[in-house]
Amino acid sequence: MTVLLGGCGLTGGSGDVTLTLVAADYGDSKSHTTRKYWDDLVEAYEAQHPGVRIEVSVYSWNDVDRKVEEMVDAGQAPDMAQIGAYADFADKGLLYPADQVLSIPTQADFASQLVEAGQVHGQQYGMPFAASTRLLFYNKALFEKAGLTPPTTWAELADDAAALKADGVKYPYALPLGPEEAQAETMQWLLSGGGGYTDTIGSYSIDTQQNVETFTWLKDELVGKNLTGPVAPGSLDRADAFAAFADGDVGMLNGHPSLMKTAEKKGVEFGMVPMPGVNGPSRSVMGVADWMMAFKQNQHREQVGAFLDFVYNDKNVLAFSREYDLLPVTTSASAVMTSTPADQDLEPFLEQLPLSELYPVGKTSWSSVSAYIKKRIGSSVSSGASPSAVLHQLQAAATAAQSAE
């Protein structure tokens, strides 16, 4: 869906400026799109800035990144884009650094780990716009029926899954390693095993012993014992796993805040706990952020900066986070949410954010590496497969992609 939003009553005189923004749609239906959020925000901004017109185009997540790439390739870059990745544009010198558009208070208010994730070659170009973390969701009714308590270790998770399977639960643990978002489930498990996608100096480290042990455990202790449901993990997408949870067919799965509303609508009572690790709750959790960026082409640096300072004020950040069940990217808005009783459902996710580790989005190679992970990782836990061999293949591809940066 494309939505064009703009102001009214402008004369079109020589002093007027029109800014263009391409944004992603976080809504879950035609009646609940991000159009309303941007419509209200633009109306408020233009009322205070009569010489500025804001045109916002909203696209689905299936189309928005591609649309911005097409605009840039055609020499028609928007002034701003709010999408999933920024590093390629930054590496090509197409973006303003954050400190050239944002005021000092606005830039300083971003959560520190999000600032770091928004950097290319030590300079911040990606401005975080929305964030989320992951927790282990479990179906309370199914757990109570089986006499279970939420797991804190891998062994407990496997035991709980076995008990749920014995009770006839369709998906004791839903393991979505299908192509939709396999990189997320993979990273969550790698972190819980003490590993991850990169090492301490930022190089890809996909085939480390820790990571191999993690996927070997998944293959042997969950998938191999038929504890992940009737759909092979490599064919199970996140959206389908979430839908199955909302239907009451899943005992446990990793989920982000939007799953709360989906489950509540279907009347599923659920609990949430930190992701189990080898010997206790995982010390690190996966965080995800989407990004705002400012393109240089139209040379609207000052006007873009003024608008983005408005976008990032507490009122607007909180309005967006609350409407779409996402976490604020600023420390001031997070503090407000933490102290507001109405926001208590998001508190467990907020608590995880300072501990979170994000995808290596500052690497221009990440988009191709992520795509390869989505394509291949599901096969690592299939019958007769070698997790070690698949992770070695992924590492080779990642190393080649990194060398080409």
| pLDDT value for 15 | 55
Is 282 a domain residue?
A: no
Q: What does the pLDDT look like over 116-143, one tens digit per residue?
A: 999 998 999 999 999 999 999 999 999 9
Residues 252 and 395 in one domain: yes
Q: Is 292 within 8 Å of 80 (Cβ atoms)?
A: yes
Asked if the structure places residue 279 within a domain, the reply is no
Is 164 part of a structural domain of the chain?
A: yes
Confidence of residue 7 (pLDDT cuts 50, 70, 90): very low
Task: Give pLDDT, residue 80.
Answer: 98
One domain, residues 123 and 105: yes
Count Cα neighbours of 317 within 13 Å in the Cβ-side half-sphere.
27
The total number of residues written for the chain in this structure: 405
Instruction: Classify residue 161: in a domain, yes or no.
Output: yes
Partners of 123 in the beta sheet?
Answer: 120
* Confidence bin at 183 (pLDDT 50/70/90): very high
Do 162 and 270 fall within a single domain? yes
Task: Check if the beta carbon of residue 20 is closer than 8 Å to that of residue 57.
Answer: yes
Residue 280 domain-assigned? no
Residue 180: pLDDT band with limits 50, 70, 90: confident
* Total structural domains within the chain: 2
Indicate if 71 and 177 belong to the same structural domain: no
Q: Residue 217 and residue 277: Cα distance in Å, rounded?
A: 12
What pLDDT does 405 receive?
Answer: 79
Residue in the block written with tokens 């263009």: 20
Do 128 and 147 share a domain, yes or no? no
What pLDDT digit, counting tens, does each position of 365-389 carry? 998 999 999 999 999 999 999 999 9
What is the distance between the alpha carbons of residues 172 and 229, in angstroms, rounded to a whole number? 7
Assess whether 127 and 140 both reside in one domain: no
Contact 248, 164 (CB under 8 A): no
Structural domain that includes position 299? 4-132+288-358
The verdict on residue 283 lying in a domain is no
Q: Answer yes or no: do 262 and 394 share one domain.
A: yes
Q: Is residue 96 part of a domain?
A: yes
Are residues 139 and 123 located together in one domain of the fold? no
| Nearest one of 242, 189, 202 to 373, comparing CA atoms | 189
Within 13 Å, how many C-alpha atoms sit on residue 204's CB side? 26
Per residue in 165-175, pLDDT (tens digit) is 999 999 999 99
**Average per-residue pLDDT in the chain?**
93
For residue 252, give the nearest of 280, 225, 274, 235 by alpha carbon.
274
Could you tell me if residue 281 is inside a domain? no
pTM of the model: 0.87
Give me the mean pLDDT over the 199-228 stretch: 97
Residues 191, 269: one domain? yes
| Coil, strand or helix at 212 | helix
